[in-house]
């Protein structure tokens, strides 16, 4: 998935299905898209996980309390940090402040593709040099198996299936396997982590007539993401971590000790870790560190017979390789969940209190499924939802510490966010405990590249929206992509370097 190379939707300050000229054109196109239910801000996964097991109550913070470490944000990044800290120092007094409930952000809303980044290994090596680029790819790749061991150790049922993913070429405008990346991995002894497949092998994963080949990596697991967030919550609670849900940080005093205030109380902590994801965009320090994109997903009704018909009998993940890729997976209850195809970028930091759902983008994700599998035309979609992503210029997360060394941040998880938040927990635990280990020397430790400030960013991402989406649309229809779109795509790709 791309970094800032996403798209935006609607008017500055909000994002419904826009009423600008571009928005009207889209409405006409939206009429051709499948019907989907109203877009909710709570995902199918989180509803399912909470109704199966709401977990031990974690009431809001009231009054003042002390902690060794206060973590802000109960998504994967915050919870993995709490896990790693207590793994290394079981007696540490750790508090997590979560504005809503653990898993309410992107962590409970995503596609559940616990992925590796081998497919971008060439890009990583160009950015960081071969050794450092490969270290990041290896770190992510190895976490997939490690998550399976974590589930066994903690008896966590998160519907974990370690079966890999096919990045399929679904149209001649989509890139063929990158021979230079494959050769580099072969040379460095990682040839089995990514390999090219032909059309016959691709279609054995799931019989899409669009597939003409692609690349396969075994390093991906599908999970029920909200169950992962809730199981992580359970495990850290069992270790004595105090979690306060419904407790939004409203002020941070970064003295020694630091003070994190909520509406009902305050935590005085020797160290603070900021992992509140896209919401951090509201803080001046991070205003130019990332842009906020709203990603949409839909899930079908249970379709066991249709899954048999298209031969999708494994739990292998699937993605195509368009500009704004579609990513999809089976669920344990025989549905298909799919996301992608477009993204809504938020103006500035304005995610709080706005309607975050775009019916058109949810319908575009649904369109991806019937476009890839015409055999599924007429399939019914049971749920649609959206969630925020914090997207840096490079598409990679960043980790940094304050000059005083007692406030740390791990933000900017977008593509591969499930896996990189797990690695991120190790990095942040290392920064808190001042450990000089392999994790704190990963190349993503350090400040991110700056994005332009608003209002400059808005027209830039709006143009990108049009360029990426119209390129894919034109290619789908067998037309040439508009010349300007090609130029913008090339420019944005250079900008992300």
Ligand X SMILES: Cc1cc2nc3c(=O)[nH]c(=O)nc-3n(C[C@H](O)[C@H](O)[C@H](O)COP(=O)(O)OP(=O)(O)OC[C@H]3O[C@@H](n4cnc5c(N)ncnc54)[C@H](O)[C@@H]3O)c2cc1C
Binding region for ligand X (CB under 6 A): 72-78, 97-100, 104-107, 109-113, 115, 248-249, 275-279, 295, 297, 327, 339, 387-389, 413-414, 416-418, 421
In the complex, the smallest distance separating the C-beta of residue 277 from ligand X, rounded to whole angstroms, is 3
DSSP string, 11-58: STT--SS--SHHHHHHHHHHTTSPP-PPEESS-HHHHHHHHH---S--
Residue 356 makes CB contacts below 8 A (sequence gap 6+) with 15, 39, 41, 294, 344, 386, 387, 388
* Cα gap 337→345, rounded to integer Å: 22
**Beta-bridge partner residues of 87:** none
CB nearer ligand X, residue 109 or residue 488:
109
* Cα gap 6→344, rounded to integer Å: 8
Alpha helix locations (H) across 310-416?
Answer: 359-372
**Whole-number CA gyration radius for the chain:** 22
In the complex, the smallest distance separating the C-beta of residue 362 from ligand X, rounded to whole angstroms, is 10
130-153 and 121-128 helices, crossing angle to 10°? 130
In the complex, the smallest distance separating the C-beta of residue 165 from ligand X, rounded to whole angstroms, is 10
With the C-alpha atoms ordered 473, 477, 478, 482, is the resulting torsion angle positive or negative? negative
DSSP E strand stretches across 275-403: 291-300, 317-320, 326-330, 336-340, 344-345, 381-391, 398-401
In the complex, the smallest distance separating the C-beta of residue 283 from ligand X, rounded to whole angstroms, is 9
CB nearer ligand X, residue 186 or residue 283:
283
Q: Which residue is nearest to ligand X (CB)?
A: 417
CB nearer ligand X, residue 422 or residue 485:
422
Q: Are the CB atoms for 361 and 407 separated by under 8 Å?
A: no
CB nearer ligand X, residue 323 or residue 485:
323
CB nearer ligand X, residue 330 or residue 485:
330
In the complex, the smallest distance separating the C-beta of residue 184 from ligand X, rounded to whole angstroms, is 23
CB nearer ligand X, residue 5 or residue 488:
5
CB nearer ligand X, residue 243 or residue 496:
243
Residue 250 makes CB contacts below 8 A (sequence gap 6+) with 261, 262, 263
Phi-psi region of 226 (alpha: psi -120 to 50; beta: other; left: phi over 0): alpha
DSSP letter at 414? B
* Cα gap 340→318, rounded to integer Å: 12
In the complex, the smallest distance separating the C-beta of residue 183 from ligand X, rounded to whole angstroms, is 26
In the complex, the smallest distance separating the C-beta of residue 95 from ligand X, rounded to whole angstroms, is 11
CB nearer ligand X, residue 10 or residue 342:
342
In the complex, the smallest distance separating the C-beta of residue 480 from ligand X, rounded to whole angstroms, is 31
From edge to edge, which strands make up the β-sheet containing 161-162?
113-114, 221-222, 161-162
In the complex, the smallest distance separating the C-beta of residue 37 from ligand X, rounded to whole angstroms, is 15
**Beta-bridge partner residues of 242:** 95
CB nearer ligand X, residue 74 or residue 133:
74
């Amino acid at each position: 998935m791309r970094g800032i190379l996403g798209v935006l939707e609607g008017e500055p300050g909000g994002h419904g299905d826009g009423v600008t000229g571009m928005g009207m054109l889209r409405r006409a196109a939206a009429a051709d898209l499948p019907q989907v239910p109203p877009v909710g801000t709570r995902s199918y996964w989180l509803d399912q996980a909470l109704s199966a097991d709401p977990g031990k109550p974690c009431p809001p913070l009231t009054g003042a309390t002390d902690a060794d470490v206060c973590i802000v944000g109960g998504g994967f990044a915050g919870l993995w940090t709490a896990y790693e800290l207590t793994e290394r120092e079981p007696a540490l007094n750790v508090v997590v402040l979560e504005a809503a409930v653990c898993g309410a952000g992107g962590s409970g809303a995503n596609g559940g593709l616990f992925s590796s980044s081998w497919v971008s290994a060439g890009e990583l090596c160009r950015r960081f040099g071969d050794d450092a680029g490969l270290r990041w790819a290896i770190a992510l790749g190895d976490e997939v198996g490690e998550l399976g061991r974590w589930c066994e150790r903690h008896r966590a049922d998160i519907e974990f299936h370690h079966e890999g993913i096919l990045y399929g070429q679904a149209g001649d405008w989509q890139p063929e396997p990158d021979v230079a990346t494959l050769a580099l991995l072969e040379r460095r002894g990682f040839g089995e982590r990514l390999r090219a497949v032909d059309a016959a092998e691709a279609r054995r994963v799931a019989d899409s007539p669009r597939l003409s080949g692609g690349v396969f990596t075994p390093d991906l697991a599908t999970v029920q993401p909200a169950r992962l967030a809730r199981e992580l919550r359970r495990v850290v609670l069992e270790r004595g971590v105090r979690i306060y849900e419904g407790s939004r940080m409203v002020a941070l005093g970064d003295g020694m000790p630091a003070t994190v205030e909520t509406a009902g109380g305050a935590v005085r902590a020797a160290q603070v870790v900021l992992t509140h994801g896209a919401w951090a965009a509201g803080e001046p320090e991070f205003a130019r560190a990332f842009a906020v994109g709203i990603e949409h997903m839909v899930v079908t009704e249970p379709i066991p017979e249709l899954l048999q018909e298209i031969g999708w009998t494994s739990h292998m993940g699937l993605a195509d390789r368009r500009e704004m890729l579609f990513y999809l997976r089976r669920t344990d209850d025989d549905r298909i969940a799919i996301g992608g195809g477009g993204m809504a970028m938020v103006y500035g930091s304005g995610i709080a209190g706005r309607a975050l759902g775009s019916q058109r983008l949810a319908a575009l994700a649904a369109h991806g499924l019937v476009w890839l599998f015409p055999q599924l035309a007429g399939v019914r979609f049971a749920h649609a939802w959206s969630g925020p992503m914090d997207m840096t210029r490079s598409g990679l997360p960043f980790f940094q510490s304050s000059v005083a060394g007692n406030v740390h941040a791990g933000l900017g998880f977008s593509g591969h966010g499930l896996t990189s938040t797990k690695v991120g927990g190790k990095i942040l635990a290392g920064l808190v405990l001042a450990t000089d280990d392999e994790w704190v020397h990963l190349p993503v430790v350090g400040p991110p590249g700056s994005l332009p400030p608003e209002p400059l960013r808005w027209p830039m991402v709006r143009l990108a929206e049009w360029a990426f989406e119209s390129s894919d649309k034109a290619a789908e229809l067998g037309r040439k992509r508009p010349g300007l779109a090609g130029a913008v795509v090339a420019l944005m790709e250079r900008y992300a370097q």
